[in-house]
Amino acid sequence: MVVEKHVMFRVRGGLDFTCQLDRTDESYVKQTLGKAFESVRSAVRSPSLVFGVQNSPVFLWPNRSLQATRQGVTENTTCRELQQHIQINEGDSGKRSSKKKDKKDGTTSIINVDLLTEVTEPVLCSAPMLFRQEGKHHFVKMKLPADCVVSAHMDETIGEYVCCGLPESEMKCVCTHLVEALCTQLTNMEEVVLRHRSGTSLPIPEPFHFLLPEPVGLITAVYPAGVPDTQLEPVRKELHRRLELPDDRSCMRRANAYHFPDEPYRDGYLRSPHLALNHPSLEGTKLYLVQGIYSYHHYMQDRMDDNGWGCAYRSLQTICSWFQQQGYVERVVPSHKEIQQALVDVGDKPASFVGSRQWIGSIEVQAVLSHLLGITSKILFVSQGSDLATKGRELANHFSTEGTPIMIGGGVLAHTILGVMWSETSGEIKFLVLDPHYTGGEDLQVITDKGWCGWKGPDFWDQRAYYNLCLPQRPRAI
C-alpha cells in the first residue's frame, strides 16, 4: 500500500456568458467583453457558487465561509477526510463502496467536482422597471466550459488556511484555491476570445491540461474551439518559449492533452502497457524507452481475424497510434484494407493485394508511413538474429532522440520494440517487446504477466533469421 501525499481536485462545469456587441471596433469590443467576463468572474466569487463533490452527498458553498450539506464536513475537514465521503465503483457488480481502495501504483487520487450555482434568487424588494429601445443588436450567449485542476496536500483543509508543514507564504485552503483557479481560467478565456474573434463572432474557449516534465508539471492552456492545431502554431511557440520546452517537439497540441487516470479511453484499446512493468535490474546498463503514449494493437481486434498473418499490420497500427496521440497527425489509425490500398497506390503491390491475407514487412511499413502519414523512416538491416545483440548503440540512440516505437520483422514474425536496457561498456542488452500475436482481450494483467509486453533477452530472436527494423523518425515541429 502506498500512502498518498497529494490529491488533485478537478472542477468542471458550464458558466453562462452573455454580451451584446453592437460594433466591431477594437476598443469597444475589448471593453464590452471585459465587462461580460468580469460578470462571470463575479458569479464565481458569489455566495451562490456551489461545488458538488462527485459520487458523494457533499455539496460545498466556498464563498459562504464554507457551508456544507454533509454533517461532519466543515472548514477544518482535510482532503483525506473528505475522501472518506466519496463512493467508488466496485468493478462490474454495479455496487458502490465508501471504502478506500489500497493504492499500489502510487498514482495521485482525483476528486472530481461539479461546478454548480444555486437557482434560488432573493426576493426583489421593488417592482421591476422595463425600458424599450429599438434597434439592431448582436447578442452573444454561450456556455464557457470551465475545467480547472488544483493539487492539494492530503492534510490541507478544504476551507481553512493551514500550513501543513508549508512555509507561511504558501498557506492555503482548497476551496479558495479552486475559486482563484476558476477566475484565472476565465481571464485566459477572455484573452483567447479577444485574440481569435472574427467581427462579432466569438469562438468558444476550451481548456486543455498538459503533463509536462518537471519542474513544470501539470499546466492548463486554453485554445479556441474550431481552430485547427495547424493555425495555433504561433500560440504554441509562445507557450514553448515561456515554459522552456523544446522547439522541435509536439508537447502542447490537443492530442498531447493529459488523460486523467480515472477516465476510460472510449476506443477500448490499452494505452502504453509497458508502464505497468517493473524494469529488470542489470548492473551497468541504462534504460532507453519509447517517449509518449501509444495504443496496443494485436491479433483479432476490430472484428478482424488476422491470426497468423497480420502481425506486421498490427505493429504498424501501434506506430500510427503513436504519431496520432502525440499530435503529429490527425488521421485515424489505418485498417488492414487501408494499409493494403496504400501499398497498391504507391505501386508496391498489385490491385489484387487489397483484401488478401498476405504478409507485409518492414519495407512495406516504411512505405505506408510515408504515404499515409508523411513520416520518414530509417531501415536497419540485420543479417541474422544473433547480431541484434550488437545493435544496442543504434537502438539506444533512436529512443533517446526519436522516441518512436520500432517495427522489427524477420522470417514470418513481426514485433514492436519499445525500448532497450543496454550497457555501453559490456554490451549487455535486453529488449522491451510488444507482441502483436496476442489474441485475448484487453486485460493488462494478463498481457504483462504472460509476457505479451515484456523484457526479452537476445535469445528471444531467431539467431539464424534475418531481420529488418523500421525506425520511424519524429517530425521536427511544435
HSE on the CB side for 332, CA within 13 Å? 4
> Which is the catalytic residue, given 163, 183, 437, 462?
437
Strands 467-472 and 406-410: antiparallel
**What single-letter amino acid sits at 184?**
T
Distances 276 to 189, 446, 454 between C-alpha atoms, Å: 37, 11, 10
> Which is the catalytic residue, given 147, 229, 306, 435?
435
d(CA 407, CA 433): 10
d(CA 407, CA 416): 5
Based on DSSP, count helices (H) and strands (E) in the chain, helices before strands: 9, 17
**What single-letter amino acid sits at 327?**
G
- Beta strand spans in 66-168 (E): 67-68, 88-89, 96-97, 109-117, 138-153
Angle among Cα 40, 43, 46 to the nearest 5 degrees reads: 155
For residue 392, which of 400, 283, 323, 472 has the smallest C-alpha distance?
Answer: 400
Tell me the three cell numbers of residue 44: 464565481
Using CB atoms within 10 A of its CB, is residue 176 exposed (0-12), middle (13-18) or buried (19+)? Answer: middle
- Beta strand spans in 340-440 (E): 377-382, 406-410, 413-422, 429-434
Coil, helix or strand at residue 366:
helix
Q: For 217, phi and psi rounded to 5 degrees?
A: 75, -150
Distances 376 to 33, 38, 54, 359, 474 between C-alpha atoms, Å: 46, 49, 46, 21, 8
Phi-psi region of 87 (alpha: psi -120 to 50; beta: other; left: phi over 0): beta
For residue 156, which of 244, 210, 78 has the smallest C-alpha distance?
Answer: 78
**What single-letter amino acid sits at 326?**
Q
> In angstroms, how far is the first alpha carbon of the chain from the final one?
40
> Which is the catalytic residue, given 175, 311, 453, 470?
311
d(CA 316, CA 379): 14
For residue 136, which of 230, 237, 20 has the smallest C-alpha distance?
Answer: 20
311 is catalytic: yes
For residue 395, which of 363, 436, 424, 370 has the smallest C-alpha distance?
Answer: 424
Tell me the three cell numbers of residue 135: 434597434
437 is catalytic: yes
Q: For 398, phi and psi rounded to 5 degrees?
A: -65, -50
**Residue positions annotated with a catalytic role:** 311, 435, 437
